[in-house]
Amino acid sequence: MKFRICRRLAIAAFVSGFLASTATLAQNAYITNSSSVSVIDTATNTVTTTITNSNFNGPEGVAVTPDGSKVYVTNPGGNTVSVIDTATNTVATTITNSSFNGPVGVAVTPDGSKVYVANAGGTVSVIDTATNTVTTTITNSNFNVPEGVAVTPDGSKVYVTNFGSIFTTVGNTVSVIDTATNTVTTRRKQEQTRRSRARVVDAPHPDPLPI
């Protein structure tokens, strides 16, 4: 099996995802490839399944629900989010919404009720996992190519990295979302290198950087 692992974002997300899942799911790691998702049995470190679906379009971000029943995969090429049923390792549904604009980073709240999707186009979408629909689109003037996203263990805050344009110095910030109101309450300036900035959250910018 040959992987085309060109996005570090996916690797970081699958690690945090399967470690936080149930004992059964802890046996599996979900890795996004250019047009598929590979499932690795962590007991043997072998690929047991390769999930394909016509809606996969440059799948990138991946996050597992705390109960281990679902895997959310962002498709920046198609502006969609696919939902994998881990019991069958098939795509159960693909979510479409006008708020998706280059969806990249994805994270699930600890209670499993919400999924936060960072859209590189300048917004953050909130998905209700019970209905798999977008219930809120968070906008803020400080969002500048938001990509990385992570939720605090108590579920009260979501941290979003703003990568900014490679042609300007704009960006290099981290926005903090209050999950009670789904509004941005804080913006932190990060005066460091791109690599350091990316490590502020578990889902860094998808460059082919060494682990």
Q: Is residue 181 part of a domain?
A: yes
Place of tokens 């708020």: 99
Q: Is residue 206 part of a domain?
A: no
DSSP string, 137-186: EEE-TT-SSEEEEEE-TTSSEEEEEE---TTSS---EEEEEETTTTEEEE
pTM of the model: 0.80
33: domain CATH number is 2.130.10.10
Confidence class for position 71, pLDDT limits 50, 70, 90: very high
User: Where in the sequence is the domain holding 89, given as residue range(s)?
Assistant: 8-198
- Taking only the tens place, the pLDDT of each residue in 15-36 is 334 444 444 445 899 999 999 9
Token reading at 109: 């709240």
Q: Is residue 211 part of a domain?
A: no
What is the DSSP code (8-state) at residue 197? H
Q: Is residue 207 part of a domain?
A: no
Q: Is residue 2 part of a domain?
A: no
Q: Is residue 205 part of a domain?
A: no
**CB 133: neighbour CB atoms within 10 A?**
11
- Taking only the tens place, the pLDDT of each residue in 31-66 is 999 999 999 999 999 999 999 999 999 999 999 999
What is the number of structural domains in the chain? Answer: 1
Q: Is residue 40 part of a domain?
A: yes
Token reading at 52: 């394909």
